[in-house]
């Protein structure tokens, strides 16, 4: 797992909303990366619904949020449509993003861990926590 203060690894990947180039956002706005284990499971659905429902809190900081998971785009698109997610879900099919961010595996090395990162405007990790941290903690990491 990356630590606060480390530079955020850049990536380019397909998402439910087109190609995402992290370099397009670095230096312009805070970035929230939510690594979650699997589409359409109760815990993952609740975590991403909390993001959807907290859109105004993220908008106050002009933050962009990306879900990141090794699933394919078709699964991600169905998951996003079913729950009304208005933020991109990135397909990390080759698991290169997971590995670059030090996100481990769980459950017999099948599913990735649940980790939330906030990347500050300076391009460094401003927040890193396993599990499902409260939205307030995530947003607090974006304050200048």
Name the β-bridge partners of 65: 32
Among 33, 34, 44, 128, the active-site one is 44
Give yes or no: 44 in active site.
yes
Instruction: Say how far apart CA 126 and CA 29 lie, in whole Å.
Output: 12
Secondary element (H or E) of residue 89: strand 89-91
- Considering only CA atoms, which of 27, 24, 47, 23 is closest in space to residue 37? 47
Exposure of 138 by Cβ count < 10 A (0-12 exposed, 13-18 middle, 19+ buried)?
A: buried
Which residues are marked as active site? 44
């Amino acid at each position: 797992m990356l630590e606060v203060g480390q530079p955020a690894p850049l990536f380019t990947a397909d998402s439910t909303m087109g190609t995402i180039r992290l370099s397009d956002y670095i230096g312009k706005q805070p970035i929230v990366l939510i690594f979650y284990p699997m589409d359409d499971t109760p815990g993952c659905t609740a975590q991403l619904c909390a993001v959807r429902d907290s859109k105004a809190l993220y908008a106050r900081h002009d933050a962009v949020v990306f879900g990141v998971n090794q699933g394919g785009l078709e699964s991600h698109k169905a998951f996003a449509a079913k729950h009304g997610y208005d933020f991109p879900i990135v397909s990390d099919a080759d698991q290169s993003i997971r590995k670059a961010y030090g996100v481990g595996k769980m459950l017999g090395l099948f599913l990735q861990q649940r980790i939330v990162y906030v990347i500050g405007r300076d391009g460094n990790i401003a927040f890193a926590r396993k599990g499902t941290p409260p939205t307030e903690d995530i947003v607090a990491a974006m304050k200048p």
